[in-house]
Structure 1
Amino acid sequence: MAMMEGASQLRAADHPALAGTASAVDTGAISARLDRLPATRAVWKLIVLLSLGFFFELYDLLFTGYVAPGLVKSGILTSTTSGLFGTSGVASFIAALFCGLFLGTVACGFLADRFGRRAIFTWSLLWYVAANTVMAFQDTASGLNFWRFVSGMGIGVELVTIGTYMSELAPKHLRGRAFAICQTLGFSAVPVVAFLSYLLVPNAPFGVDGWRWVVLLGGISALFIWYFRRNLPESPRWLASKGRIREADEVLSRLEEKVASEYGQPLPEPGPSDPVPRKAGFADMWKPPYRKRTVMLIIFHILQTVGFYGFANWVPTLLVKQGITVTSSLLYTTVIGLAAPLGPLLGYWIADRFERKHVIVCMAALNIVSGLLFSQVASAVAIVTLGVLLTLAGNIISFTYHTYQQELYPTAIRARAVGFVYSWSRLSAVFSSFVIAFTLKEFGVTGVFVFIAGAMTLVIVAIGLMGPRTLGKSLESISH
């Protein structure tokens, strides 16, 4: 015992900024030390760097709907399909993306659990940038769809990795707000891609189709994140879960020293270490307490994607179908897109005050009402107002569930488990894009929003009845 106390005193002497902290460096202690960190510039810097990666990820993910009118105009795709699963329409382009996202999340989610959050964050970004660059030079529907599928795989891996990375680096008292800021910066890509599409898609600068410029600009800009990623540390929680306790301690000690120097006073004492779940495998997703959470999230993801992407990817096409010109449609969606980052920014004020599940339920209800009204209006003011409400509701749901699903599984399988449940939204989007195209053709815009309303009603039921509470709890305590 005396030797242990001496070691503790030696450690405090070696790291003055850590005076008063526990010397234990097991996994539970690593988590407790992370969770007590105050929200200083060093902590927010990590969150912002991850958020910048998310910006370019969403740019690449969401340009689909904005470039669709340009793809139709260029003659590569058609706005509707001749059959339910036709491969020459906009629906096939959307489906190709989500097929790639599905494979990337369901089959490759384990990569971040095996090789680390930092490495996969970097390489998956380079993967989808390269694939989208090749896609920008395609002239056939088959070539376009194939490379969109390939880029979707990289985006799928990146989506899971960033969420996992963020949940493990952010202290528990900051987790909801960290995701809110991440989504605010990420969804700033929506007005950017909408405005670039408004300027470029109807035109052909230097003789090159405008949609190609929109795709290329995102890829070139994203390479800057590859450069800045050198400032991101590996997740101490992940290192500890792999038994690399010394490395986890070193990474966390460096972060603690930066935080302490900015904080200007001794860091708070770590709280008691929550019991760490035993080493988990994929099969544990189907055992209590995770089985109910897994079923809930599968149901949720199958349905939520209908509401989110049913509007985000189709709004320019829906407006054109209502008789609005391509240029006016892109102008309206640019204005609507300005609201995209406001959703999570508003959510910043509620993120760590209200239960995640309650926020999702309320925003799903707003989505239903706004969508049904959107299908019945024709004036510019009404279209933009209801479009903004739909965007706000969808994006608040998005940042909330990105926080929520990361909290429901232990560190050892977090990326793999979230990748698995998240992949169902990708699979759903593949089929729902064809269903929406078919519904639009047969039942018009009203039919599309009735379909979306039905899906969001079931979201309310699933989350409301099956979702556990997570607000203010450590990741380890939620995992029990």
Structure 2
Amino acid sequence: MANVPDATAPDTGTIAGRLDRLPVTRTHRRATVAVGLGLFFDFYEVFLTGVLSSVLVEEFKLSKAALPPLLASTFVGMFVGALLLGRLADRFGRRGAFLLNLGLYSFFSLLGAFSGSAVMLLVTRFFAGIGLGAEPPLADTYLTDLLPARRRGRFIAWAYTLAFFGFPVVGFLARGLTGHEILGIPGWRWLFVLGALGGAAVFLLRRGLPESPRWLESVGRTDEAAYLVAGMEAEARGSTVTASAPPRGTTRRRAVAPVRDLFTPALRRRTSMMVVFHLLQTLGYYGFGTLVPLVLAAKGYAVSQSLLFAALTYLGYPVGSALSLPIVERVERKHLVIGSVLAMAAFGIAFGLAGSMTLILVFGFLYTATSNLFSNAFHIYQAEIFPTALRSTAASGTYSLSRLASGAMPFVLVPLLNAHGPTALFLVVAGALVVVALDVALLGPRTTGRRLEKVNEELP
């Protein structure tokens, strides 16, 4: 039976202090799994259109000019969704925003399976994107709120490790289903159906999650927050809370912090850092993943071969995420972000220059593995560096820029690939990643193992 850590820890009387004193409980583990499964389908969807790009060109007889809008539609929807749902999570709560995004995604992904034209597919991908838009920053915010400081990084990394299996699953399902029919329905349509059904299952799982006690306290609902924390403390002791239901309406609610606070002198430095970060990091992270089939086609490989190479390369995503588990709490996350993004730049250039199947697979795998070391570190980091009252707004608002950049990316990177080839493409990507490293090195605070309140007390 787990024991609550020593009560002499700092701030033992506050909600935050009590949360940080907790060992990892069943609630923490359940939340990590529920969040990880939701992220699984987020990543599944993000890479689905890219993986199927060659198939969809043939299905709908798309021209080269018509493909970029289709690839971009999901990301544009995600930009809108991240802005809207991220703010809703600070205003109305993390749990409700979680359920709303999964509901929207599941419905429109299922509708997309019945698309009779490229236009209908584009529209359904856009609305599915709205549902998915805030999923990663909401996940980061929720788990950051809930987990104790000393285990925060490791358990968020576990959630993403589970999630990143979505990449190879998409690759291998696309490889196995495209070109075939099941019950008279083309295989690519079943890929959308599977995503929709999975999202609906996670919706039901998340209904059992508690609201964030930190958020409840930030809006003045301290009695409800105290009740939830008491339940987790009792869970750690192996007992139960005697109260039958959380108290409601016994405390005066505080106004939600305005968005303009992100641009006050105290937060402006961190907000600016994350704006630059997300505008550029997506070129390396999503640019590689969504364009791998097109890059391999440009190197002369057939569609079936490019899908197989992509699926094997995508195995690096869960492997890289798993590799982060033993180090994410041992290495300062700021330094981990910088080191991994520079390694991505090097491996990307090597992938662009690779001329054989062996080198393509080796450097593709190394790139994707390193990129998930980077991804896990920054997802933990971006929620840690903002105060609770604005955590979701800041993480989702700045992260939304990465979705917007991803939407613009096909219009920039696909013509660059067609005009100048894979090497030029990855040189441009590498340049963007070097700027990302400098941005974090110059402006980022240190966070690993530190209490959230301490990190945010040091705002300039």
Alignment map for 1:136-175 (pairs within 5 Å) = 136-175=113-152
1:58 to 39, 43, 53: 43
In the alignment, residue 132 of structure 1 is paired with which amino acid?
S
Indicate the SS of the match to 1:351. Answer: coil
Indicate the SS of the match to 1:468. Answer: coil
Matches of 1:456 and 1:19, distance apart in 2: 41
- What's the offset of the Cα at 1:426? 1.4
Indicate the SS of the match to 1:354. Answer: coil
Partner residue, 1:266: none
Partner residue, 2:301: 324
1:108 to 69, 82, 85: 85
Q: Which runs of 4 or more aligned residues in structure 1 lie more than 6 Å from their structure 2 counterparts after TM superposition?
A: 17-20
CA deviation digits over 1:378-414, x for unaligned, max 9? 2221111111111012111111111111011111111
- What's the offset of the Cα at 1:329? 1.0
Matches of 1:73 and 1:172, distance apart in 2: 50
2:388 is equivalent to residue 394 of structure 1: no
Matches of 1:279 and 1:445, distance apart in 2: 47
Matches of 1:312 and 1:161, distance apart in 2: 22
Partner residue, 2:362: 385
CA contact (8 A) 1:132 1:216 kept: yes
Alignment map for 1:237-276 (pairs within 5 Å) = 237-261=214-238
CA deviation digits over 1:307-355, x for unaligned, max 9? 0111100101111121111111111111112221111211111111111
2:50 is equivalent to residue 73 of structure 1: no
2:33 is equivalent to residue 48 of structure 1: yes
Matches of 1:297 and 1:25, distance apart in 2: 29
The gaps in structure 2 that reach 5 residues or longer are 240-254
- What's the offset of the Cα at 1:18? 7.7
2:18 is equivalent to residue 33 of structure 1: yes
In the alignment, residue 41 of structure 2 is paired with which amino acid?
F
In the alignment, residue 207 of structure 1 is paired with which amino acid?
G
Matches of 1:450 and 1:21, distance apart in 2: 53
2:392 is equivalent to residue 415 of structure 1: yes
Matches of 1:94 and 1:465, distance apart in 2: 34
State the Cα RMSD in Å: 2.2
Partner residue, 1:189: 166
Indicate the SS of the match to 2:403. Answer: helix
Partner residue, 1:12: none
Q: TM-score, normalised by structure 1?
A: 0.87
Partner residue, 1:310: 287
Indicate the SS of the match to 1:352. Answer: coil
CA deviation digits over 1:29-71, x for unaligned, max 9? 1000101111344422221222112112221222122121211
Matches of 1:246 and 1:25, distance apart in 2: 17
Partner residue, 2:435: 458
CA deviation digits over 1:1-35, x for unaligned, max 9? xxxxxxxxxxxxxxxx889869x999x71000101
CA contact (8 A) 1:53 1:225 kept: yes
Partner residue, 2:209: 232
Flag the 1:130–1:290 CA change in 2: closer, same or farther, 3 A: same
2:455 is equivalent to residue 470 of structure 1: no
Q: TM-score, normalised by structure 2?
A: 0.91
CA deviation digits over 1:162-217, x for unaligned, max 9? 22111111111011101110110000111111110010123233332221111111
Matches of 1:394 and 1:18, distance apart in 2: 36
Matches of 2:424 and 2:442, distance apart in 1: 28
Matches of 1:180 and 1:107, distance apart in 2: 26
Matches of 2:176 and 2:152, distance apart in 1: 37
Once the two structures are overlaid, the 10-residue window that deviates more, 427-436 or 33-42, is: 33-42
Indicate the SS of the match to 2:14. Answer: helix
Partner residue, 1:362: 339
Matches of 1:367 and 1:198, distance apart in 2: 26
Partner residue, 1:95: 72
Indicate the SS of the match to 1:409. Answer: coil
